[in-house]
């Protein structure tokens, strides 16, 4: 009886030694199950990341089939894809941003990674806005920087093709990332947001800005309240457009950009010396919402503006 038990135990140990562990090779094309704790299988995965404070932060990561089924070498994609980070608006969350933007479908079609981080108590510290994240002085720049470093450091994303986009409060956070971490971000996409943070980026960043003329939350021509405890008005969207083009030494945006909707009027500065451009899309009659055409237009813009240096 004892011999039978020992033989059975030995068989179990042999099988255990043959079982693939997370991060080990063994799947098609040499793709590991995980890289640095990040799942590489096709689909959307909930991830956690330590940010140096008690607890952790969370984000959703959508992995397209083109990455999962592509060529891998030494546990990393042979051709790391672009990364699009989409930031939800105030009083929303990462799941709502995933549903709102439809970036998963574009990710599957074009092969980029789509990440949807969760704000602090449904808000982002975008400078002078908003809510709990601002009051708590949450280091959201640090959080998003760690997220970028984790994905690029693991070889899962191309560090020269990292883009941050957002809606409303998330759009303000995209501005802040470009202001404070232009070395990490090749371009930003701003939808119904305002530049309400001190900004001295030191280098240009490509930007595509959408804003509705009938937005009452963040008025097109400025106004409203920056926060529940800050009665200063939001600046007009034109101030942000002018700021980013002047940082890059670009002219006013006059080159027409084809839009998917007749209500959207888009123009671009064209590319400057570093390949940087600023595009502005005015949505005539548009309110405080994510336009149906925004995601596809943002991806086309991002794909055409990698960081050159």
At 28 the pLDDT is: 54
At 97 the pLDDT is: 98
What string of pLDDT tens digits covers the 309 residues of the chain? 444 433 343 333 333 333 333 344 445 557 899 999 999 999 999 999 999 888 899 999 999 999 999 999 989 999 999 999 999 999 999 999 999 999 999 999 999 999 999 999 999 999 999 999 999 999 999 999 999 999 999 999 999 999 999 999 999 999 999 999 999 999 999 999 999 999 999 999 999 999 999 999 999 999 999 999 999 999 999 999 999 999 999 999 999 998 877 889 999 999 998 999 999 999 999 999 999 999 999 999 999 999 987
The dotted CATH code for 2-303 is 3.40.50.1820
Domain ranges in the chain?
A: 2-303
3-state SS of the chain is: CHHHHHHHHHHHHHHHHHCCCCCCCCCHHHCCCEECCEECCCEEEEEEECCCCCCCEEEEEEECHHHHCCCEECCEECCCCCEEEEECCCCCCHHHHHHHHCHHHHHHHHCCEEEEECCECCECCCCCCCHHHHHCCCCHHHHHHHHHHHHHHCCCCCCCCEEEEEECHHHHHHHHHHHHCCCCCCEEEEECCCCCCCCCCCCCCEEEEEEECCCCCCCCCCECCCECCECCCECCHHHHHHHHHHHCCCCCCCEEECCCCCCEEEEECCCCCCCCCEEEEEECCCCCCCCCCHHHHHHHHHHCCCCCC
At 29 the pLDDT is: 58
At 309 the pLDDT is: 74
Claim: this prediction has a pTM higher than 0.75: yes
């Amino acid at each position: 009886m004892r011999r039978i038990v020992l033989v059975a135990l030995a068989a179990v140990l042999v099988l255990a030694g043959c079982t693939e562990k997370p991060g080990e090779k063994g799947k098609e094309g040499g793709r590991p199950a995980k890289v640095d704790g990040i799942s590489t299988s096709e689909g959307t995965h909930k991830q956690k990341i330590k940010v140096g404070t008690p607890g952790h932060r969370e984000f959703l990561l959508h992995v397209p089939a083109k990455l999962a089924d592509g060529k891998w070498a030494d546990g990393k994609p042979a051709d790391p894809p672009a990364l699009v980070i989409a930031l939800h608006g105030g009083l929303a969350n990462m799941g709502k941003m995933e549903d709102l933007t439809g970036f998963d479908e574009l990710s599957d079609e074009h092969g980029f990674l789509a990440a949807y981080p969760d704000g602090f108590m449904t808000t982002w510290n975008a400078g002078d806005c908003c809510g709990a994240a601002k009051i708590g002085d949450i280091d959201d720049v640090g959080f998003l920087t760690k997220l970028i470093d984790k994905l690029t450091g693991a070889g899962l994303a191309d560090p020269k093709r990292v883009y941050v986009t957002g809606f409303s409060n998330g759009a303000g956070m995209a501005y802040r990332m470009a202001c404070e971490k232009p070395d990490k971000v090749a371009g930003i996409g701003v939808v119904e947001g305002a530049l309400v943070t001190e900004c001295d980026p030191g280098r240009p960043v490509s930007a595509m800005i959408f804003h509705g003329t009938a937005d009452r939350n963040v008025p097109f021509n400025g106004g409203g309240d920056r926060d529940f405890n800050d009665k200063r008005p939001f600046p007009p969207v034109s101030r942000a457009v002018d700021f980013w083009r002047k940082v890059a030494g670009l002219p006013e945006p006059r080159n027409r950009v084809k839009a998917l909707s007749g209500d959207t009027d888009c123009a671009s500065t064209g590319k400057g010396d570093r390949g940087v451009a600023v595009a502005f899309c005015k949505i005539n009659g548009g309110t405080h919402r994510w336009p149906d055409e925004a995601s596809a237009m943002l991806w086309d813009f991002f794909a055409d503006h990698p960081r050159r240096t």
